[in-house]
């Protein structure tokens, strides 16, 4: 089973760009880690603002993307067969997963989530931190696939 390093959140933030870190710090302070990750994924800019172009995604659709991200993250961390190849690659190194895995993990699950890796990565930082905090075994005990 995959194991994740128990590190302070500040250490996990080191893989983020300064603007991402700044936003996540404010979101975590306001909402806590998991809700902060959800806010990051579902945010669509300033409120009461009509946008002039592009995709017509709304907050309801963004919530669907958040649910997909959570599902794919759980599958990856908890050993689901759909990520067997990637899990074996990580386990063969014999190391605990640390912040360095965020970029690869974002790239691996992005196609199933349907969002760019660059927006997924900051949310993964928070989800990995949460899973590490309670241990992967305890985190996965409640998951059913």
Partner 1 sequence: MIDFSQLVVVIGKKADNSIVTMLGSGFFVSNDYRIATARHVIGNEYENLVMLLPHISNINQYQDVSDNTCKYANAKVLEINPITDLAILKIEQSGLIMTPPISSLDNIKVGERIGIFGFPHCVMGRRVLTYHETEIGAKMLLESSGIKAKYATLNLQTRPGQSGSLVFNPMNGDILGLLIGTYAPDSGVNIAGINPYELNQTSYCISADHIREML
Q: Does 17 bind partner 1 (CB under 8 A)?
A: yes
| Contact range with partner 1 by CB under 8 A, out of 1-9, 16-24, 73-81, 133-141 | 16-24
Q: Does 92 bind partner 1 (CB under 8 A)?
A: no
In the set 6, 14, 95, 116, which binds partner 1 (CB under 8 A)? Answer: 116
- Specify the residue, 68 or 143, whose C-beta has the smaller distance to partner 1: 68
Instruction: Find all residues with CB under 8 Å of 103, minimum gap 6, and list them.
Output: 15, 117, 121
First to last CA, the chain: 16
CA dist., res. 115 & res. 18, Å (int): 21
- Specify the residue, 56 or 144, whose C-beta has the smaller distance to partner 1: 56
* Number of alpha carbons in the 13 Å side-chain half-sphere of residue 80: 14
* Cβ neighbourhood burial of 59 (10 Å; 0-12, 13-18, 19+): exposed
Instruction: Give Cα separations from 41 to 11, 46, 79, 89, 119 (angstroms).
Output: 21, 14, 24, 27, 7
Q: Does 23 bind partner 1 (CB under 8 A)?
A: yes
In the set 19, 59, 142, 144, which binds partner 1 (CB under 8 A)? Answer: 19
User: At closest approach, how far in Å is the CB of 91 from partner 1?
Assistant: 29
Q: Does 52 bind partner 1 (CB under 8 A)?
A: yes
Query: How many Cβ atoms from other residues are within 10 Å of residue 113's Cβ?
Result: 22
Q: Does 103 bind partner 1 (CB under 8 A)?
A: no
Binding residues for partner 1 (CB under 8 A): 17-20, 23, 26-27, 30-31, 39-57, 65, 110, 114-119
């Amino acid at each position: 089973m995959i194991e994740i390093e128990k590190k302070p959140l500040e250490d996990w933030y080191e893989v983020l760009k300064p603007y991402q870190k700044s936003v996540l710090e404010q979101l975590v302070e306001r909402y806590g880690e998991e809700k902060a990750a959800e806010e990051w994924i579902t945010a669509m800019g300033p409120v009461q603002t009509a946008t002039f172009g592009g995709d017509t995604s709304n907050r309801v659709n963004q919530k669907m993307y958040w649910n997909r991200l959570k599902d794919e993250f759980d599958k990856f961390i908890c050993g689901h067969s759909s990520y067997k190849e990637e899990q074996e690659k990580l386990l063969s190194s014999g190391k605990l997963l640390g912040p360095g895995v965020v970029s690869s993990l974002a790239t691996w699950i992005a196609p199933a989530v349907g969002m760019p890796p660059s927006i997924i990565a900051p949310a993964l930082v928070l989800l990995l931190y949460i899973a590490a905090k309670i241990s992967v075994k305890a985190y996965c005990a409640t998951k059913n696939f």
